[in-house]
Amino acid sequence: MNSRKIIVEILDKVFFEKTYSNLELGKRLNESSLNDKDKALVTEIVYGTIKYKLYIDSIIKNFVNSIDDIDPKVINILRSAIYQIKFLDRVPDYAVVNEAVNLTKEIDSSLTSFINGVLRNYLRNKDNITIKTLGTKEKLSIEYSFPKWIIQKFLKQYGLEETERILRGLNSIPDVTIRVNSLKGDYDDVFSELEEAGYEVEEGVVCPEAIKISRGKNIEKNPLFNEGKITVQDESAMLVAPLMDLEEDMKVLDICSAPGGKTTHISELMNNKGEVYAFDIYDHKLDLIKENAGRLGLSNIKTEIMDGTKINSDFINFADRVLIDVPCSGLGIIRKKPEIKWNKTNKDVEELIVIQKQIMENAWNYLKKGGVMLYSTCTLNKEENEDNIEWFLKKNKDAVIEDIYVGKLDNIIYNNDKTITVLPNKNMDGFFIAKLKKI
């Protein structure tokens, strides 16, 4: 199948059916017969078009009466073509236009002259287009291609300079990061094997188990992955398990565990001893954890369906350690899931905060005295982070916040309340961690 057609079909799924870009992309590329070079181009155009949708639409508005009047069947042909002309130089402009017109002809031949007209008009005027904005918020919104509600939230919580830094980080292109499973593989041996297999690799920036891959074939098809010597995980998420002060004989609960990256890291750090309970509300997600645990050679993980918002009396005062990586707005992982910009609303965030508080309260009941609960999110929204911790400490007098230190990096903020915020950059996702002890 034509790579441009795959691009547009993925974009239609993401924008119209709210599917996850990474899952849809993975599925379609695995089904396709495209070579590695074409797969890389498809990936770049899909993520880039989603990432810069607002900016692209602001360009299109210069050549149409109303963007809402454009036929949904061809809007993403137009968007992906504009993205290529504006941001890429791999394909000549005339070829981008011809391919867009040919694809439109396949879908609805009556719209070919419209697509051809808009794109050729853009090519003639692309160096003279000015996008007028009113004020800082709108300027940032269009320039970085983020909805105004997110811009407004970041400006209020972080100020202008830090907001721009965050937006740049969230628009950066992430490398793949892997975690070496010390139970099966030696770090130096894994590093050397990857180099010998043609991967461009370097050590992680903060976690001793991390290896960053900047170039190479799909790592999940590599023997090291299939043998369970490595697993894919962002370095921000890798910070969590080591902060839990784990010991081999402990009972550990991971309340919102799927797909199991942190669960399996906990198990590895416990040398596959003790008991690790992984909970989720969906069977198919628990199957994913079992699959990962099996591949990594971990046998101390027990999976069970459980809703973190409902108390389970079987686990009251049961655990030495509890991890709650709570459902959140995901505003820290937009560089990997850019559709979050367009699929989330401020109302969604407000509803999530209610859920987060319920999970915190229930998880605290599962913890023994002297135990530690780690709270983490992949968002930068302080209402889901620092504000939740402040609320929890006021309500639970047997909770104290513990100091945490993960190293000195310019994107790690040690907050005044002893929590940490990881700002997104080319190496790490945006993240938040707090460590609470039950006294």
Residues designated catalytic: 378
DSSP string, 352-387: HHHHHHHHHHHHHHHEEEEEEEEEEES---TTTTHH
**Separation in Å, CA 344 to CA 1, 129, 269, 341, 375:** 32, 30, 35, 6, 22
Q: Within a 10 A sphere around the Cβ of 110, how many other Cβ atoms? A: 9
C-alpha 193/C-alpha 100 separation (Å) is 42
From 112, 100, 109, 150, select the one nearest 383 (Cα to Cα): 150
Q: Within a 10 A sphere around the Cβ of 179, how many other Cβ atoms? A: 25
The SS3 call for residue 389 is: helix
From 61, 247, 97, select the one nearest 105 (Cα to Cα): 97
Q: List the 176-180 sheet strands across, edge first.
A: 200-203, 210-215, 176-180, 230-232
Binding-site residue numbers for S-adenosyl-L-methionine are 256-262, 280, 307, 325
C-alpha 154/C-alpha 383 separation (Å) is 11
What does the block give as tokens for 143?
């320039």
Residues in the chain: 439
Cite the DSSP H helix spans in 18-147: 21-31, 36-51, 53-60, 72-87, 93-107, 112-125, 135-144
DSSP string, 215-274: E-S-GGGSHHHHTTSEEE--HHHHTTGGGG---TT-EEEETT-TT-HHHHHHHHHTTT-S
What does the block give as tokens for 38?
């074409």
Residues 6+ apart with CB under 8 A from 27: none
Q: Within a 10 A sphere around the Cβ of 396, how many other Cβ atoms? A: 14
DSSP state of 178: E
